[in-house]
Structure formats: C-alpha cells, structure tokens
Amino acid sequence: MACKLATLATLGALVLIAGAPSTVAQPLDLGAPDLVLVNGKVLTLDEQSSVTEAIAVRDGRILATGTSASIRSLAGARTQVLDVSGKTVVPGLIDTHAHFKAAGLADYVVNMSRAKTVADALEAIKTFAVKKKPGEWIVGGAWHPPSQLAEKRYLTRQEIDSVAPDNPVYLRTVGHFSMANTKALEIVGVDKTTADPSGGSFERDSTGDLTGVLVETAIDRVEKAVPPWTEEDEIRQFMIAEGALNSFGITSAVEGATEARDVRILQKIAASGKATLRTGLMFRPEPPADLSSWEAVMSGNGASSGFGDDWVRFAGIKIFYDGGMTLKTALMRDVYPDSHDNYHGVAQQTPERLTKLVSICNRFGWRVGVHVVGDLGIDQVLDAFEAVDKEKSIRDRRFVLIHASLIRPEQMERARKLGVRVDFQNVFMWDKAATVERFLGRPTADRAVPTKTLIATMGLDSLGAGTDFPVNPINPFLNMYIMVTRKDPKGSVYGSSEAISREQALRLYTSAASRYTFDEGRKGTIQSGKLADFAVLSADYLAVPEEQIKDIKTDITIVGGRVVFQR
C-alpha cells in the first residue's frame, strides 16, 4: 500500500525577526504542528486503504500524513512529538449505538454484571442495600438475566424483598424488562388488580399475583418514580463514562436514546471544554399521549437533525417498535417455535401509529431511527418509511433501522432503495447466541446479524457497528472479533457464511460509522483536514492471529489532537 504525504503550504517558512541581524533568519512556530505522531503503522482507511507512518496535527485537525522523516521535519520548538515505536494507529473508533452514561454509574447503582446465579444477584443487592437508609431507592445497572443467570430467569419481587425489605428496589435490564420489589410497586400504586398498559404488562404468576417483572411499557410506571440524579452527579457520571470509552479507543458515540436532561448535561460538559467524546444524540422524547403533543415536541424551538457542533449534535429521533431476539419479544413473521398461542412477539404500538409518528418527524426535518429487531417488525417499519417518503423524500436523510438483527435480504433491498441505514451490533451474539437459539431455533440464530449479506446488498457505507452497551460489552475489538469469526465464548460458530474481513469490520467502526451523523467529511479516516481523532493499539490489528483480535488494547487515544487516554 502506498505511503502518501499530504500537500503542505507555507510550512517551515523562515521569518526575519525585527532587530535581528539581516544575515540571520530565525525559525518561528507559525504554522508548525501542535503534535506529530511518528514511527507508526498508520491505517488511514482512505479510499485506497493507504498505510503510512506519521501524522501532523494542528488546531485539533490533521495537518498532514506521511513518512516519519517528512512529518518530523515540520515540528517546531513547541510541537509535541509522540513516537509510537511501530505500533498500529487507527482512526478514532465510533460506536454507532451505545447508552454510554452507564459506564459512569458504578458508584450509583448495583452492579449486576457479575451475577451468574440468582443467589449472586441477591447478594449484590443485599451488599448495596447496607449503604442505603431505609426508604431510599436502590437502582440496578443493566444486565440480562435470561442469558446471564444459571436459572435463566428474572428475579421475583419476593426474592428482592428478602434482601432489601426496607427499600424500594428497581432493577433495569436491557430496556424491555425490569424488576421491582413490593415497596417500589406500592409507591407507584401497582397491585394485582392493576390493568396492564397497552404494549406491556405487569407479569403475574399462576395464581394471578404480581411477580415484580415489568414488561415493555409497564416499565414507565416505576421508572418515572425513581428520583433523578442531581446535576452534579450527572456531570460526574458522563465524564467518567467518556473516559471509559476513550480507554477503548472510542472517540465518538451515538447515544442511543437520549433524554432531555442528558442533552443539557452533555452540552454543559462540552461548553466547559472538558468533553473527550464526540456524541451524536438520538433524542427519545417522552412517549406522547396524543399526536398533537408529539408534533409540539418535533416543532419545538426550530431545531432538527444535525443541530449542534463537533462535540454534541442531534442525530435524530429514536422510536421503539418491537422488543429483542434475546428477550423473546422481537416481532417475527413466524410463530415462536415453542409458542402454544400463536405468539409472534411484541409491538409497542400499531403500524398506523408508527407511520404517523415518523411522518410528523419527517415534516419537521427530523431524521428517524427505529428500534426494530424481528423480520415482521422490519416489514412494518419499512412500510412506514415508504409511506412517509411519498409525503416528503427521506432518500438523502439516512433514516435508520436500529438493530435489525433478523433482517432478510429482500428487506435489505427495500432499505437500500430508500437510502436507509442499518446499524447493528454483532456483539449480541457473544454471550447471547445460545439464548437466541433457545428462543428462535438454530437456523434463526445462524442468520442473526447477517453482516456479509448486508454489506453485499446495501454497501458498507450504509452500515455501522455498535454495541448497545451496557446490554453488551463496550469493547470494540471483541465486537470486531465476532464479526470476523462469528464465534461465541465457547468457540461455537453461528452463521459462518456471514463472517467479514478485518478491514470491513474496522471500517464499520470508522469510515462507515462516521456517516451516521453525516460526518464523513470530518472524521472516520486519517486524512488531512479531518478531526485529529485516532487510537494507538497494543497489537497489529491486521496481522495478529484471529483469536487475538478480541484481546487488543488501546494504548493511547487522541481526540482533537489531545491525548485523552494513555495506558
């Protein structure tokens, strides 16, 4: 691969200093880089997949790339020189779907991620409860009991009561199921006589008594009762989270379902100059009671998708449609294999209502991303997109199918014709592939997240990869490992024909991912003029044995020309 040196203008000029002897020219740092990185294996990921050695940075942007000698020659007296001793350098990684605030919540919520049994989970709650006064809320961090616990089930309210009898307890999972104990249900006025809300349910046992499990829209009843964090708490949480993502080489993320208060906090962090992560916001308004309320939110103060800057920008509106393949709630064309009641999954609203919501967003210039997983759900979301496209074209707007884990080839073609993106998460198949197989059967598990077919049908630039953290690990190299190998932790391979190349996987995190926020001209590759976001890796991503891809670490992360993480 050819090494390339960007064209430089007026760099290194000698300027006469007033009062100095006319025969002596003194070099000034005018135009010199702030930072030069040398002696690297720099994967630029430009159109030619060029590999070079060095990068010069000035004012937060890439000034030039080239050989170490040519770039080092640009350095001035104040230039920081970073010698990476032959290590691989990649563009800053972009997670196109994460709920990254969760990475900053360790001091605020019960960590359920290490629980392997019901007993482990209850012990974690009991230990956390000791630090709380009676009556104070206890909240759990995201986890996935059906795949995580040996018992393959959720906790009951009675079990939670046994370890935290004096506190209301609310345990989030992955956004479609939650658990609450008796005190929490009492606070919000839910008992066994309470009717289920549309699109959700308060789970009951065989006697009709509440189990404490909240399904889909029933979650809101308890979620809204949990006291919000203080602004100081939230600033700290987000800043810890940004640093955590930086430690994996992640320099940008699409925040998958942003609430209004999170927008304000992220703006404050950016305005303070302390942000280290560029954030695209998929704004999730409170579910409206009526369409006029939804229209009022969309018209708002005149903002629309793209409003913001390089640090915080509205990427679009997030709408939920179905559930998940790991939750047995994805909306499927076929009946679930073990169903005895013609069960196809869960839709959180009717197709007609979805179309109306998307139509209003489109009318006011908002791009829409819809959470949809099952193939029947994807049919209905694409129907909505096609309907609103007839009202006002969406073809250059990059509407998004978020997840689309069980998309079929003919649906990919429909999406391609509309200019719709698919942003998926292969990492769902890391520790949850066996759960997908149990709920939907092996053939469906093998065709889940059909990455190679998506690339062949839609083109790499219409796709992006993320993690849905904290549902799944944030580690991008684990995600890329799964894309390349299709393996789970036990070495079982699911859908080997859908494996892709290492470069394709890396581009799904960089050049292709940048297109989610229309930033392909600003980031995603290492080229002159683009934002100086890149990561130095512990190993050669393109050359290490396949099994070692998941073990790659980030040694240095640079955002806007500033070192924000160094191992």
Which 3 state secondary structure label does DSSP give 277?
coil
Instruction: Give yes or no for a contact between 246 and 557, defined as CB atoms under 8 angstroms apart.
Output: yes
Helices 260-271 and 231-246: crossing angle, nearest 10°? 70
- Record the tokens describing residue 115, joined without a space: 């629980």
Can you point out the beta strands (E) in 469-561?
534-537, 554-559
Q: What is the pLDDT along the chain (567 residues), one digit of tens a residue?
A: 444 333 333 333 323 223 333 333 334 567 899 999 999 999 999 999 999 999 999 999 999 999 999 999 999 999 999 999 999 999 999 999 999 999 999 889 998 988 999 999 999 999 999 999 999 999 998 788 988 899 999 999 999 999 999 999 999 987 689 999 999 999 999 999 999 998 899 999 999 999 999 998 899 999 999 999 999 999 999 999 999 999 999 999 999 999 999 999 999 999 999 999 999 999 998 766 789 999 999 999 899 999 999 999 999 999 999 999 988 999 999 999 988 889 999 999 999 999 999 999 999 999 999 999 999 999 999 999 999 999 999 999 999 999 999 999 999 999 999 999 999 999 999 999 999 999 999 999 999 999 999 999 999 999 999 999 999 999 999 999 999 999 999 999 999 999 999 999 999 999 999 999 999 999 999 999 999 999 999 999 999 999 999 999 999 999 999 999 999
pTM of the entire predicted model: 0.87
Which pLDDT does position 447 carry in this prediction?
98
Sign of CA dihedral 385, 390, 395, 397: negative
Look up tokens 């939650």; give the residue.
Answer: 178
- Record the tokens describing residue 434, joined without a space: 């066996």
Quick one: which of 92, 90, 100 has its CA closest to 242?
A: 100
Q: Which one-letter DSSP state was computed for residue 556?
A: E
Instruction: Determine the Cα–Cα distance for residues 502 and 509; give it in Å rounded to an integer.
Output: 11
Instruction: Determine the Cα–Cα distance for residues 322 and 372; give it in Å rounded to an integer.
Output: 5
Let me know if domain 109-223 sits in CATH 3.10.310.70: yes
CATH number of 14-86: 2.30.40.10
- Record the tokens describing residue 147, joined without a space: 């795949």
Domains 14-86 and 109-223 alike in fold: no
Which element (helix H / strand E) includes 421?
strand 421-424
Which pLDDT does position 124 carry in this prediction?
96
Which 3 state secondary structure label does DSSP give 63?
strand
Quick one: which of 310, 309, 324, 367 has its CA closest to 468?
A: 324
Which pLDDT does position 175 carry in this prediction?
65
Instruction: Determine the Cα–Cα distance for residues 499 and 511; give it in Å rounded to an integer.
Output: 19
Q: Residue ranges of the domains in the chain?
A: 14-86, 109-223, 231-566
Q: Which one-letter DSSP state was computed for residue 546?
A: G
HSE-CB for 499 with a 13 A CA cutoff: 15
Which pLDDT does position 28 carry in this prediction?
53
Instruction: Determine the Cα–Cα distance for residues 46 and 55; give it in Å rounded to an integer.
Output: 14
Give the rounded distance of the alpha carbon of 253 from its chain centre: 6
Q: Which architecture, in CATH terms, is 231-566?
A: Alpha-Beta Barrel (3.20)
Which pLDDT does position 29 carry in this prediction?
67
Which pLDDT does position 12 carry in this prediction?
37
Instruction: Determine the Cα–Cα distance for residues 151 and 126; give it in Å rounded to an integer.
Output: 19
Query: How far apart, in Å, do the first and last CA atoms of the chain sit?
Result: 30
Instruction: Give yes or no for a contact between 450 and 498, defined as CB atoms under 8 angstroms apart.
Output: yes
Instruction: Give yes or no for a contact between 552 and 542, defined as CB atoms under 8 angstroms apart.
Output: no
For the chain, the farthest-separated pair of C-alpha atoms sits apart, in whole angstroms, at 98
* One-letter-per-residue 3-state SS of 211-256: EEEEEECCHHHHHCCCCCCCHHHHHHHHHHHHHHHHCCCEEEEEEE
Instruction: Determine the Cα–Cα distance for residues 149 and 155; give it in Å rounded to an integer.
Output: 10
Question: Could you tell me where the DSSP H helices lie in 130-230?
Answer: 145-148, 157-163, 182-187, 219-223
Q: Which one-letter DSSP state was computed for residue 469?
A: B
For residue 74, CA distances in Å to 39, 41, 68 come to 15, 19, 10
